[in-house]
Amino acid sequence: MKLYFASGNEHKKQEMKRLLGGFELTLPKEEGISFDPVENGSTFIENALIKARSLYEIVNQPVIADDSGLVCDGLGGNPGIHTARYGCTEEKKLTSQEQYTLLIKNLEGNIVRSARFVCALVLMLSKERIYIIEECVEGSIATTPRGIEGFGYDPVFLVEDTGRTAAELSAEEKDEHSHRGRAARKMNKLLMEVMNEKV
**What's the CA gap between 66 and 52, in Å, rounded?**
8
Domain region containing 12 = 2-198
**pLDDT, tens only, 4-46:** 999 988 888 888 888 887 788 999 999 999 888 989 999 999 9
Q: What is residue 17's predicted lDDT score, i.e. its pLDDT? A: 85
Residue 39: name the closest of 75, 84, 2, 99 by CA. 84
This prediction's pTM? 0.91
Domain count, the chain: 1
Q: What does the alpha-carbon distance between residue 171 and residue 169 come to, in Å, rounded to a whole number?
A: 6
- Provide the annotated active-site residues: 67
Query: pLDDT tens, 126-183?
Result: 999 999 999 999 999 999 999 998 889 999 999 999 999 999 999 889 889 999 999 9
Query: Cα–Cα–Cα angle for 18, 27, 83, nearest 5°?
Result: 80
Q: Is the separation of the CB atoms in 94 and 86 below 8 Å?
A: yes
CATH of the domain at 162: 3.90.950.10
